[in-house]
Structure 1
């Protein structure tokens, strides 16, 4: 239990992220402090009294300067406000000069400083620079060790090389972790954008159709009210039913479960166009054998958007809805066409509805063609006529 509480009080610092508070800074300090174990020989050498007073004082000052520069380089490299590359290179050069100077003047106990120079090279310099500065550091330590008569300097060379190149690996791991975290954030942002786009499409298609129908029936009720109150009451009842259904559709769209059915949309097409005073011809019953749910839903959205545009923008008096199967070079498709004898509405470019509809059909593997004809406006939506299960069984 105590270990669990300690872990909660001292959370591990996420790899590749700068400390944002004192609680996150402490693990970083402990991690860096472990490496200060190589300072024990120089400290013990200064405390032993083997040097003169001036030599000891100079040793303490040189050691303090060395540790301060090392911690500055490493700490600033982990923070958001990293030092300029040229300044980092200059500070590492100063570290190397101090390591050489202190080892030559104070003895072999100071050769461990080269370990810190190697760590600084691997942790802060670019990889190409680190790959040659680490061996140079090891070579300099070897020469200094031979000069001060330290036979074990060759054994320390291996440690300098291993730690230096290990730090380059840790640095690459940190960089990969940062890139992975950024990629995950990007994927999450794209998913959020896609969900907002889906919701915008659903609400546009749902509310556009429902509000157009409510407007039409309200106008009819207003015209019928003086002379035919019974018929006006029927229109008001229809308005209530449409508004209730619109609320249900909006809730389903928000929760992501809205999947309209083509048969229901065909029935709604008859009601909407008739209420608008437009004669309509629709297929008796759609043949949806082998059509996947996504393809059927895309066609249903296409029919809803097309009918909404006919009611709101076209000024048409006649509309024909057709649903046929065709064989194309890409395989069998189910084709929905909606054609009217109106003007096609204002503007020459595709509006938000057609743009969203094109995206829906493309996700289902289909396509959309829409444009003016000699006698009005025509919208054609196509989806594959083979459901995924049928494709797999036929393979």
Structure 2
């Protein structure tokens, strides 16, 4: 398929079926069941094999095509509307089946479509079953009134039961994935809030006393200078000013130490987010973090940030594309380097560089690191990022601290 055609198809698909439902092409594949509506033409080839309960093919074609023209807008509207709208579409689809049934007994396909939507209405099973029984009861009554063979209804019943519970379980799984995603987002939000609170407490504890001391000694130095030009006063003032300078430098060093540890919590939060994301897809997740690797001062803010973002991108790609059953994250300290490894047992295969992988590589190489991706087909994917532990050289301490806080 030409590359320029696929984006157009995806855009067209998104207009008909919301991407948020996560159904992909499945709603389009299930339209294949409409082929059953044309079985009267097949039966017509066998003459008396129709048993007298299927009308002539030429009398079936017109109403059948008209029913499809009415059905398709209702079908796609049911995916885009909320509960009440979906319920109305479901009833309308069932009505199409009832209306076509006297002409085309294979209109029971519309009944199955209606029951498929009934399984997705609301969260309670009993109202969904009530709609299903009502729709099937209408079909049974019409089958008896038209004197059709009972096996027509029985076949519809068997297929409807399978479709109903299949869609019901799929709807439950979809809701659970959505709830897990909300939990995933909530964990990140709470981690951010907790980190802000921790930063506020640390800065208050570090700077509250220090700034009070600086203000006190600055006032004392000013008073000493106001006493006159005596050598004793000048020496005392110089001592206080020197003490102010020392206290300020100590405070700056403490702030830099505190800021260095801020981003370590970010990597830990990414690990928690990765576990939640993969657990929602039933992927077993294992971690191996070197002792002390996330202690404050071990990783520079820039290095820790690059590792956290690399982990996020790798886990996102794994969840979307790998089709893996297990995944593992390792963070090791090796010979002056920190090494992040993310591996899975998925399908592997050729990697098409996109914005995510390109950004990952640029982020690592900008810090004099190396990124290696191994993805043999059928043997999973292994991503390894190596970064030096040394702090970047250049820029004054104030700028460095400010940049770390902004990160």
Query: Which residue is equivalent to 1:167?
Result: 167
The partner residue of 1:232 within 237, 252, 270 is 237
Q: Does 1:83 align with 2:82?
A: yes
TM-score, structure 2 as length reference? 0.51
> CA contact under 8 A between 2:40 and 2:60: conserved in structure 1?
no
- Name the counterpart of 2:187: 187
Distance in 2 of aligned mates of 1:131 and 1:251: 63
C-alpha contact (below 8 Å) 2:97/2:110 kept by paired residues: yes
Deviation at 1:35, TM superposition (A): 1.1
In 2, Cα distance between equivalents of 1:195 and 1:126 = 36
1:133 alignment partner in structure 2: 131
| Equivalent residue in structure 2 for 1:252, among 233, 249, 257 | 257
Mean alpha-carbon deviation: is it higher for 217-226 or for 113-122?
217-226
Map 1:303-342 → 2, pairs under 5 A:
none
Change (3 A) 1:90 1:27: closer
- Contact 1:19/1:25 (CA < 8 Å) preserved in 2? no
Over residues 254-288 of structure 1, what are the superposed CA-to-partner deviations in whole Å (9 max), with x where a residue is unaligned? Answer: 2337xxxxxxxxxxxxxxxxxxxxxxxxxxxxxxx
Which residue number in structure 1 is paired with residue 33 of structure 2? 38
Q: What is the alpha-carbon distance in structure 2 between the residues aligned to residue 167 and residue 232 of structure 1?
A: 82
Counterpart of 1:198? 198
CA distance in 2, matches of 1:41, 1:30: 20
Match of 2:100 among 99, 102, 119: 102
Structure 1 pair 201–126 and aligned structure 2 pair: CA distance change class (3 A): closer
Instruction: Report if the CA contact (8 A) 1:88-1:125 is conserved.
Output: no
**Displacement after TM superposition at 1:152 (Å):** 4.7
1:242 paired with 2:247, answer yes
Structure 1 residue 245: deviation in Å? 0.7
Displacement of 1:69:
1.0
SS in structure 2 opposite 1:231?
helix
Aligned-pair distance for 1:130?
0.7
Q: Work out the CA distance in 1 between the residues paired with 2:122 and 2:41.
A: 31
User: How many aligned residue pairs are there?
Assistant: 239
Unaligned runs of 5+ in 1: 77-81, 258-395
State the distance in 2 between where 1:168 and 1:23 align: 19
* Paired residue secondary structure (1:104): coil
Q: Please, which moves more after superposition, 42-51 or 160-169?
A: 42-51
Matches within 5 A, 1:55-70: 56-70=61-75
- Distance in 2 separating the partners of 1:200 and 1:179: 31
CA RMSD of aligned residues (A): 3.7
Deviations 1:162-192 (A, max 9, x none): 2112212211221122122112212211111
Question: 3-state DSSP class of the match of 2:103?
Answer: helix
Aligned to 1:380: none
User: How does 1:255-294 map onto structure 2 within 5 Å?
Assistant: 255-256=260-261
TM-score, normalization by structure 1: 0.52
1:115 alignment counterpart: 112
Cα deviation, residue 110, structure 1: 2.1
Aligned pair in 2 of structure 1 residues 43, 160: CA closer, same or farther (>3 Å)? same
From the superposition, tell whether residues 156 and 187 of structure 1 become closer, same or farther in structure 2 (CA, over 3 Å): same
Given the superposition, is the C-alpha separation of residues 22 and 213 from structure 1 closer, same or farther in structure 2, using an over 3 Å criterion? farther
